[in-house]
Amino acid sequence: MTEIALATGFLLILIGLYGALTNRNLLRMIVAFSVANTGVNLVLVGVGYLRGRAAPILDATLPAAEAPARIIDPLPQALVLTAIVIGVGTTALMLAYAYRLYLTRGTLDISRLRELKW
């Protein structure tokens, strides 16, 4: 499972970077960034996985006494939990900037925004 998750995550990051570099529409670039964001989260969770161990949530089938020997490390999962929420915040910020740019310039095509080119 770890290898599958790592390979998928890296391929998703590469696909997202490809999309962000080749598309000219700002909204398509943000979509590609969101795909790459998902890939990063998948890599982080895949690194923390250990084969044959249970999810780090205590219930009737997993008593607290034998938990340290049977659960996987919950730290990468907590990190990814934060990263997902921050990713949504970043996406919302990018979308807000794209919308403001559309209101002032009337276009979303980056090849027609020439003010900062030299």
Partner 1 sequence: MVEGLLYLTAALGATAFLLALGRFIRGPSAADRVAAFDVLTIISITGIVLAALAEGRGIYLDVALVYALLSFLGVITVAHYLERSV
Partner 2 sequence: MSALLPAMGLLLSAAMLVAALMAVRGRRSLPISILAAGLVSLLASVQFLLLAAPDVAMTEAAIGSGLTTFLFFFILARVRHD
Q: Which residues bind partner 2 (CB under 8 A)?
A: 1, 4-5, 7-8, 11-12, 15-16, 18-20, 22-25, 27-28, 30-32, 34-35, 38, 41-42, 45-46, 49, 53-57, 72, 77, 80-81, 84-85, 87-88, 91-92, 95, 98-99, 102-103, 108
Residue 59 partner contact from partner 1, partner 2, none using kind-dependent CB cut-offs of 5 to 8 Å: partner 1
What phi-psi label fits residue 52: left (phi over 0), alpha (psi between -120 and 50 degrees) or beta? left
Give the nearest distance from C-beta 114 to partner 1 in angstroms. Answer: 30
In degrees and rounded to multiples of 5, residue 50 shows phi and psi of -120, 135
When computed from its CA atoms, the radius of gyration of the chain, rounded to whole angstroms, is 20
- 25 bridge partner residues: 109
